[in-house]
Structure 1
Amino acid sequence: MDTSTDGPTRVPPDAGAARVVLDGRGLGVPGVVRLADAEADPVVPAGALDRARRSWRAAAQLAAAGRLYGRGTGVGAHRSVPVDTADEAGHGLRLLRSHAGGAGGLLPARQVRAMLAVRANQLLAGGSGIQPAFVTALAEALRLGLHPAVNEYGAVGTGDLTALAQTGLTLIGERPWLGPAGEAPGPGEPPPRLPAPVTLQPGDTLALLSSNALALGQAALAAHRLDELLCATHAVAALSLAAVSGSPEAYAAPVHALRPYPGPARAAAEVRRLLGPADVAHGTGRRIQDPYGFRAFPQAHGAALEAADRLRGIVEVEINCPSENPVIDPDALTAHHHGGFYAAPLALALDGLDLALVQTAQFSAARLSALGRSDLTGLPAFLASGPASSSGTMILEYTANSALAELRSCAVPASAGHAVLSHGVEEAASFAGQAARQALRAADAYATVLACELVTAVRALRMLPVAPPIAALTVAAAGLPSGTEDRPLTADVLAAVELLPRLARL
């Protein structure tokens, strides 16, 4: 199984495979990931589709009674420019084509499919006024393992306009669908099954575009991966603590009861649980306190756990509520023009998690360095074997700090950006999309830092006279090479990255 953030999307599931319900109310981050990876089929309940249908009919009534932004008017700086009733369909098509101006490389299939899942679910919340056929087509594309071609650049955190315009043109048949490999069929290859093209109707375009679905889909993928990596960190830190005969005092429950932050308490409890009855502190007489990487781990890592919880909560709110402008209330037969599409909560949560991730990653790099010190482990410097000049795991400090530098660059807050657009009508931007892409890169960098520590901790524990009976060590040692001679360690690090999801499940 490919655990990388931008790994290939899998082929569509077989009949009878697991299903994810899209109903506009109960979609969670795991469901988005399973749909993105084609590990489940989407199911749209009739009641949810009826909610979207009621919104569509209400929007038509409201439009007949007076102008709606983007339907009876232009958009952005053209918000006061009227659109003739007879031209509403043409206006929508021009709007779709003109906004499909993304640039940069094509996004990986799973990121685009995550966007499709999010957008379909949001439309089922019943506030868009869009034609229900768009929801059906989005769900069918997910079911068939397809996605539109979407370029990386084009959004600033006030709606993923270019990505959704490209999606809209694909839904109406003007652009080709791509398959799981991210390419159109080659010469002689049978064409894939495709969703039936949707006939664009007045009001559909802005209703489709008014969302941060791409940023939310990317954020869901990042949140899921980082949740997994942060859980795996408990096991890796526990192994390192055992390898240096660290003191358990910093992890004691009474210590964390005095300052009842949920994150640090959870981090400490997980390390205690994973170590179990292992006597990791048999050498505590040698030092009163451990270095920060061990002693303050619960505080640094706990902050990352809390930041991850906050991001996941915000993503799950956003993917289950209408964000469209205007938002349609079919019960009150009212349209509300608003700024709910401004994705400041999402951008700030993503930036906050990246910053917290730097803190715990720095501690991982610090523990890695400590594992190479004879005065802390009682083992040869850099855990080397052979002649005294052997380098052992020395280079992993460099590799980890290289990845850590990438992580620090990802932690520069995207939400601190600024833009004035569309003749000054839109004088700010949240840059949530940029924050989401940074979080995806941060996850990969963090996985490398953690893998370097894991390789080193396992080697140190193998070199002890008696390895402690820790389940995480059994799992990790079974998946990592055992030689201690000087040799290239790239394969060890890659194997350790693959082991992290297994450690997260312990």
Structure 2
Amino acid sequence: MRSSRMVGAPAAVAAAPGLVVLDGHALGVADVVRLADGHARPVPGSEAMRRVEEAWDAARRIAATGRVYGRSTGVGANRTEDVPTEAAAEHGLRLLRSHAGAIGEELPARQVRAMLAVRANQVLAGGAGLRPTVVTALCEALESGAHPVVNEFGSVGTGDIAALAQMGLALAGEHPWVGSGAPAPQPLDNNDALALISSNALTLGQAALALHELRGLIAATQVVAALSLIAVDGSHEAYAAPVHVARAHRGSREVARRMRALIGADERPTPPLGRIQDPYGFRCLPQIHGPALDAADALERVLEVELNAAAENPLICPEDMAAYHHGGFYQAQLALALDHFRLAVTQVARLSTSRLSSLNEPAYTRLRPFLADHEPASSGVMILEYAAGAALGDLRAFSAPASLGHAVLSRGVEEQASFASLAARQTLRACGAYRLVVGCELVAAVRALRQRDLKADPELPVGRALELAEAVLDADPADRPLTGDVSAAAALLDRFTEIWADIHGVPSDRQREGAS
């Protein structure tokens, strides 16, 4: 195995295409996604590796001269039991073996790789006191594509100890890997075990993946909403700049600005002839999408702290030659931010079903009910309201606040739990249901535009979106199964995210990969 010093890289490498420099300070959500998807190679920063070595040396000296939780003592309710010096080496492996009891389904490679990336970066923050070759091994696994088998359940939001213990046993050569290129076994002992598993790396990795996908889907939803607005001759007044200056929530102002950019609306649009105002699905879009944008930003700020945190208990501080025992692993902020985000996402999805109902209503489309063809009593896209409502039901269930959970564990010593781990899993599961809800709206919006023979200016973002959709979605208006149409529309949302990114002025994932 290469030594830890050989993998170190100066911070200047951070700008190199296809690389993510792990320095314990600057890992972001997008970086975690790129590493999880295998679109970038991790390189530990040389200064960060120096911190890891200093903390490793300090941790061994501190544990040799005093009582340090998990190194010279047991853990949980066993914290008062000392580990004899002659049993110290085996104590570490026993700790990993006993805690590697995660249960349930095996997690997808992408989620496990996100966990590896987060854990490597956290160790590089310099507070774990973990042997440096562990960082090297984690980076080798990320580069080769190998990942340990990790099961779904085992955390209540006070550390992903079961999942990380499985990772630790895999690093020690006692637990299976998936794929080729697994790193050579590590000689883990009492100075490594708790230091390795005292983290929420899996929860953080899952939260990063979920945030990234849902942020993109919310952006794509606004593009779909713009198509629906054109299909019903909706008013631009709801997005007028004066409206959002007068009630200056940052997210709502930004959503209104992007809506104007999507459809080519003026900052002060002329009131339309005909109906005075639209249904909430159009009129309240900034007021509902805006909070979701704000919630996404708030969650990302929490993640940016946690992805780069030295939150291990105890914290090894070489400057003080001290091991500080604390509760920094407790993920209340993350759980609350995830719960808030899911509730906001559910509101956005619910608004999509409102627009779908408007698209089925002749009073707004001036077409037959349910956008049906001219055969007598045809049902058209009627079933999409039911399908979207069913998917929304799952999304509503996933939005139940995980932070309301409670647990008293380890003989009452750990008497509180954040359930951030559940919040992260629920947020990931919300992605699929959300995508299908908006896919239903997109199928109906494109059908309405076709039946009305309406075209958006191809120079406008909404015009580019319509061209993409018409190239993918079946134009046959006859009554037929729409399962394939919705699946195609749901997949198309990722392309719509790129259109929205152009308006926002940031590169999309596809553009980043092309640059790499």
TM-score (normalizing by structure 1): 0.92
Residue 214 (structure 1) aligned with residue 187 (structure 2): no
Which consecutive unaligned segments of at least 5 residues does structure 2 have?
A: 1-15, 458-462, 500-516
Contact 2:101-2:154 at 8 Å conserved across structures: yes
Q: How does 1:167-186 map to 2 (within 5 A)?
A: 167-179=167-179
The amino acid that maps onto 1:38 is G
Match of 2:81 in 1: 81
Residue 318 (structure 1) aligned with residue 329 (structure 2): no
Match of 1:125 in 2: 125
The amino acid that maps onto 2:40 is A
Say which SS state the counterpart of residue 338 (structure 1) adopts.
Answer: coil
Match of 1:31 in 2: 31
Say which SS state the counterpart of residue 152 (structure 1) adopts.
Answer: strand
Say which SS state the counterpart of residue 439 (structure 1) adopts.
Answer: helix
1:194 Cα deviation (Å)? 2.5
Match of 1:484 in 2: 477
Match of 1:371 in 2: 359
1:286 Cα deviation (Å)? 2.5
The amino acid that maps onto 1:361 is A
Change (3 A) 1:282 1:495: farther
Task: Deviation per CA, 1:188-226: give whole Å up to 9, x if none.
Answer: xxxx33211110133100000100000000001001001
1:468 Cα deviation (Å)? 2.7
The amino acid that maps onto 1:479 is V
Q: How does 1:435-454 map to 2 (within 5 A)?
A: 435-454=423-442
Change (3 A) 1:283 1:382: farther
Query: Which deviates the most, 327-336 or 364-373?
Result: 327-336
Contact 1:17-1:41 at 8 Å conserved across structures: no
Contact 2:117-2:142 at 8 Å conserved across structures: yes
Change (3 A) 1:458 1:282: farther
1:343 Cα deviation (Å)? 0.5
Q: How does 1:247-396 map to 2 (within 5 A)?
A: 247-276=235-264, 284-396=272-384
Contact 2:146-2:181 at 8 Å conserved across structures: no
Contact 2:237-2:270 at 8 Å conserved across structures: no
Query: Which deviates the most, 301-310 or 281-290?
Result: 281-290
Say which SS state the counterpart of residue 298 (structure 2) adopts.
Answer: helix
Contact 1:36-1:117 at 8 Å conserved across structures: yes
- Structure 1: distance between partners of 2:225 and 2:195: 48
Residue 161 (structure 1) aligned with residue 161 (structure 2): yes
- Structure 1: distance between partners of 2:356 and 2:286: 17
Match of 1:495 in 2: 488
User: In the comparison of the two structures, how many residue pairs are matched?
Assistant: 477
1:410 Cα deviation (Å)? 0.2
The amino acid that maps onto 1:285 is L
1:196 to 184, 189, 198: 184
- Structure 1: distance between partners of 2:169 and 2:310: 22
Say which SS state the counterpart of residue 20 (structure 1) adopts.
Answer: strand
Task: Deviation per CA, 1:306-326: give whole Å up to 9, x if none.
Answer: 111111111121011111000
Say which SS state the counterpart of residue 20 (structure 2) adopts.
Answer: strand
Percent identity, aligned pairs only, is 58
Change (3 A) 1:397 1:355: same
- Structure 1: distance between partners of 2:454 and 2:23: 55
Residue 418 (structure 1) aligned with residue 406 (structure 2): yes
- Structure 1: distance between partners of 2:311 and 2:265: 51
TM-score (normalizing by structure 2): 0.90
Match of 2:511 in 1: none
Q: How does 1:111-150 map to 2 (within 5 A)?
A: 111-150=111-150
1:287 Cα deviation (Å)? 1.2
Which consecutive unaligned segments of at least 5 residues does structure 1 have?
A: 1-15, 180-191
